[in-house]
Amino acid sequence: GGPEDGSESGGGGEFGDRSLSHGLSVLVGLALCVTMLGLGCAVELGQLGQQLRRPVGLLLALLGQFVAMPLLAFLLALIFALDEVAAVAVLLCGCCPGGNLSNLMSVLVDGDMNLSIIMTASSTLLALFLMPLCLWLYSRHWINTAVVQLLPLGAVSLTLGSTLLPIGLGVLIRYRYPRAADLIVKISLWSLLVTLVILFILTGTMLGPDLLAHIPASVYAIAVLMPLAGYALGYGLATLFRMPPHCRRTVSLETGCQNVQLCTAILKLTFPPELIGGMYMFPLLYALFQSAEAGLFVLGYKMYGRDSYKQDALGEEEDTDISYKKLKEEEVADTSYGTVTTEEHNSIPMEPTQSAL
């Protein structure tokens, strides 16, 4: 009945059930692999090349996921005076890269899918170096506590590094088998929702029926406020960059949606159960509220914002489509008649019968 059995940590003793704990570890690992594979299948090499030439998505991912969100998590932990265990769980979630939920939600709000995918992929790759750095930096306030001294930065880096293999495999599948990649992306998005429900049920069963009552009200408050503030920060960041409305919605969702599967895997695979206790539930609570708030975002857009944004978004999409068509026409003209100069393109054709169209 001493502290070693985890009874003082909100049910950590029941977490010690070897068979259930092992099964949960396997489920967490598989869910993370499927998520990262789906992310890789959504990335096209051509898009990566374009983003490297004009790395706006990379810059927004850097500022949103590794400047705004870690700082927000740190400030919330201070404002609500969290203990070291809860603070580490909140910091881990705040320092995680973007999650696949944002890709699904971006589709529902008519966002820029290329930007969404590039931001998610970029933040995942940047997390390999920046997530341990952010954790080390923001955990200094609790440095003299046992949980922070045991903060496994090396294990965090190893877990992040292990995600590169399924991402790389997904990119290869997209390059070689596009149709299979499309199917895997859909499977990964739906498996995300199913996995979160299963994890919530299994974790609640393992930690006992009184689990939710043992979690402080301040942790619930942070789980509600943190994604909401992340969405607002992302929208403000995109506005600062003077991005069009559909891109603002995309950046907003990318900033507030965290990779809770990664956070869950790190908490489950690197911390002793008796030490982390009920705080293992925080990323699942965050996932619950980030999904609910994103759903309200989508509902509000469908009901009120769609018409107001339609004209602007349509105009931008038409410009893009026209530019793309012009490019294609120029390519056809190049192969049929030779080089088309800018003056020829802008001038009024005197002999319509010679037009490539």
Q: Is residue 68's pLDDT more than 90?
A: yes
Residue 339 inside a domain? The answer is no
Residue 63 inside a domain? The answer is yes
Q: Is residue 15's pLDDT more than 50?
A: no
Q: Which of 24, 20, 28, 43 is nearest to 191 (CA)?
A: 28
Number of domains in the chain: 1
Angle at 49 between CA 48 and CA 51, to 5 degrees: 65
Residue 104 inside a domain? The answer is yes
Q: Which of 40, 113, 87, 60 is nearest to 218 (CA)?
A: 87
pLDDT at 19: 60
Q: What's the CATH number where 40 sits?
A: 1.20.1530.20
pLDDT at 282: 86
Chain-wide mean pLDDT for the chain? 74
Asked if 155 and 269 touch (Cβ cutoff 8 Å), the reply is: yes
Can you tell me the distance from the alpha carbon of 193 to that of 36, in angstroms, rounded to the nearest whole number? Answer: 15
Neighbours of 101 (CB within 10 A): 26
Q: Is residue 99's pLDDT more than 70?
A: yes
pLDDT at 6: 40
Confidence category of residue 81, pLDDT binned at 50, 70, 90 = very high
pLDDT at 90: 93
Residue 72 inside a domain? The answer is yes
Residue 308 inside a domain? The answer is yes
Confidence category of residue 23, pLDDT binned at 50, 70, 90 = low
Can you tell me the distance from the alpha carbon of 59 to that of 69, in angstroms, rounded to the nearest whole number? Answer: 14
**Owning domain of residue 38:** 29-312
pLDDT at 64: 92
Residue 122 inside a domain? The answer is yes
Q: Does 90 or 325 have the greater pLDDT score?
A: 90
List pLDDT tens digits, range 229-271. Answer: 999 999 999 999 888 998 899 999 999 999 887 888 788 777 7
Q: Does 275 or 299 have the greater pLDDT score?
A: 299
List pLDDT tens digits, range 160-218. Answer: 666 678 888 888 888 888 888 888 888 877 777 777 777 767 666 665 556 666 778 89
Q: Is residue 326's pLDDT more than 80?
A: no
Residue 196 inside a domain? The answer is yes
Residue 249 inside a domain? The answer is yes
Can you tell me the distance from the alpha carbon of 238 to that of 249, in angstroms, rounded to the nearest whole number? Answer: 8
* Average pLDDT, integer, range 75-96: 91
